[in-house]
C-alpha cells in the first residue's frame, strides 16, 4: 500500500512539474501576442494588377512637425481635441506598367475604423507655421501626397496621415489609385 501511495505521489509530482514547465514557456508567449499592438499586415506586400503596397508602420501622434523646401517649420494638428493623427509608413511600387500617374490628393487612401471611414489628409492644405522647438521634427516625412509619376520597378516611400477620433480601432486600409484597389485588413 505504501508503494502505491509513493508511486502515485511521484506521478502527481511529475504532472505538476510538466504543467509548471508548460506555464513558464507558453504563458509569456500568449501574453506577448495579446499585448502586442502590431498588425499582422505590417511588413507584408499586397499586390494589385499594377501596384504593390507595403505598410511598414502605423503610429498615433498628437502633432507632426516638419520642414518644407523653404526651410520653414510647419505643424499638422488634429482637427479637434477629441482626435489624433494616425501616421502610416508605406511603400507603393509599380511592378507592371511602363509608367503610372498617381493623383493621391484626388484619390486619397482611406482608413476604415470602428468609428467610421477617414480619408488621408492633404498635408499641404493643413499645415500651419510652427513656433517653438520640435525635437521630433522631420520624423514622419516625406509625405505621400500630390501628383506622382511612378515608372516601372520604382516606388514611393513615405507617410500617409489621417485625422481620426481618439481610441478608434483600426479595421482596414484602402488604397485606390493608379487603376488598382488594394484593401488590407488591419
Question: Looking at residue 110, which CATH number applies to its domain?
Answer: 2.60.40
Same domain (yes/no): 3, 29: yes
- In contact, 46 and 182? CB cutoff 8 Å: yes
Spatial distance between the Cα atoms of 19 and 25, rounded to a whole number of angstroms: 10
Same domain (yes/no): 110, 158: yes
Count of domains observed in the chain: 2
Same domain (yes/no): 178, 129: yes
**Strand partners for 162:** 86
Reported in sequence order, the residue ranges of 62-179 that DSSP labels E, i.e. its strands, are 64-67, 73-76, 83-94, 99-103, 110-113, 116-119, 128-129, 147-151, 155-165, 170-177
Same domain (yes/no): 50, 129: yes
DSSP annotation of 71 reads S
What integer pLDDT is reported at residue 2 of this predicted model?
56
DSSP annotation of 2 reads H
Same domain (yes/no): 31, 49: no
Same domain (yes/no): 32, 66: no
Same domain (yes/no): 101, 138: yes
**Backbone dihedral angles phi then psi of residue 33, each to the nearest 5 degrees:** -70, -35
Spatial distance between the Cα atoms of 173 and 102, rounded to a whole number of angstroms: 17
Same domain (yes/no): 26, 61: no
- In contact, 172 and 121? CB cutoff 8 Å: no
Same domain (yes/no): 59, 134: yes
pLDDT (tens, 9 = 90+) of the chain, 186 residues, equals 555 455 545 555 655 555 544 545 444 444 333 334 567 889 899 999 999 999 999 999 999 999 988 889 999 999 999 999 999 999 999 999 999 999 988 899 999 999 999 999 999 898 999 988 888 899 999 999 999 999 999 999 999 999 999 999 999 999 998 888 999 998
Q: Domain range holding 138? A: 45-185
Same domain (yes/no): 57, 94: yes
Q: How many CA atoms lie within 13 A of 155 on its CB side?
A: 14
Same domain (yes/no): 72, 155: yes
Same domain (yes/no): 116, 147: yes
Q: How many CA atoms lie within 13 A of 63 on its CB side?
A: 18
- In contact, 83 and 166? CB cutoff 8 Å: yes
- In contact, 55 and 90? CB cutoff 8 Å: yes
Q: Which three cell numbers stand for residue 175?
A: 488604397
Amino acid at each position: 500500500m505504501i508503494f502505491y501511495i509513493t508511486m502515485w505521489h511521484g506521478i502527481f509530482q511529475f504532472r505538476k512539474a510538466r504543467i509548471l514547465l508548460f506555464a513558464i514557456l507558453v504563458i509569456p508567449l500568449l501574453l506577448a501576442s495579446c499585448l502586442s499592438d502590431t498588425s499582422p499586415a505590417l511588413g507584408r506586400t499586397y499586390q494589385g494588377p499594377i501596384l504593390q503596397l507595403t505598410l511598414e508602420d502605423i503610429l498615433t501622434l498628437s502633432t507632426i512637425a516638419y520642414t518644407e523646401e523653404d526651410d520653414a517649420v510647419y505643424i499638422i494638428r488634429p482637427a479637434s481635441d477629441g482626435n489624433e493623427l494616425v501616421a502610416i509608413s508605406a511603400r507603393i511600387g509599380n511592378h507592371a506598367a511602363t509608367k503610372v500617374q498617381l493623383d493621391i490628393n484626388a484619390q486619397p487612401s482611406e482608413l476604415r475604423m470602428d468609428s467610421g471611414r477617414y480619408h488621408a489628409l492633404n498635408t499641404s492644405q493643413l499645415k500651419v507655421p510652427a513656433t517653438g522647438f520640435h525635437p521630433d521634427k522631420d520624423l514622419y516625412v516625406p509625405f505621400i501626397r500630390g501628383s506622382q509619376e511612378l515608372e516601372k520597378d520604382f516606388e514611393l516611400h513615405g507617410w500617409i496621415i489621417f485625422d481620426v477620433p481618439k481610441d478608434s480601432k483600426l479595421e482596414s486600409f484602402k488604397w485606390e489609385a493608379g487603376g488598382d484597389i488594394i484593401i488590407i485588413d488591419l
